[in-house]
Structure 1
């Protein structure tokens, strides 16, 4: 399944920053971000096995949703 870049961190300087990706069938979004490793934060979420939490800038998601409205 092919991916396409939908939005990325607007303040990114090195090109490998948090990014929002979409699948070619438009049924799934993939989020690239910084892995959350803080035990207290993970405990609050109660993460099931096989899932991960990533941190992304709010600006990135706002940019994506703003573009979809237009």
Structure 2
């Protein structure tokens, strides 16, 4: 079971980027927009089975109190 921690505060339809915690609290699940830009993917050099997602900065700022510089 996942527990919702933070969602995009500008979300209008309820299915926006979201930060979730796993039931054992050992991991997070990030719901976001799949990175498809070939240049960004080349920089990441992701191994098979991994993917990258974009999330609005606000999502993490709300939960972690982070600041953008």
Q: Same fold, TM exceeding 0.5?
A: yes
Structure 1 segments unaligned to the other structure (5+ residues): none
Structure 2 segments unaligned to the other structure (5+ residues): none
The alignment's TM-score, normalised by the length of structure 2, stands at: 0.89
Whether 1:30 and 2:59 are equivalent positions in the alignment is no
**Superposed, which structure 2 residues align to 1:38-49 within 5 Å?**
38-49=37-48
Q: What number of residue pairs does the alignment pair up?
A: 65
Shift of 1:25: 1.5
Alignment RMSD (CA, Å): 0.7
Whether 1:58 and 2:57 are equivalent positions in the alignment is yes
SS at match of 2:49: coil
- Give CA-to-partner distance per residue, 1:5-63, whole Å, 9 cap, x none: 00011110010000000012211100000000111110011111110000001110011
The alignment's TM-score, normalised by the length of structure 1, stands at: 0.88
Moved beyond 4 Å, runs of 4+? none
Name the one with the larger helix percent. 1
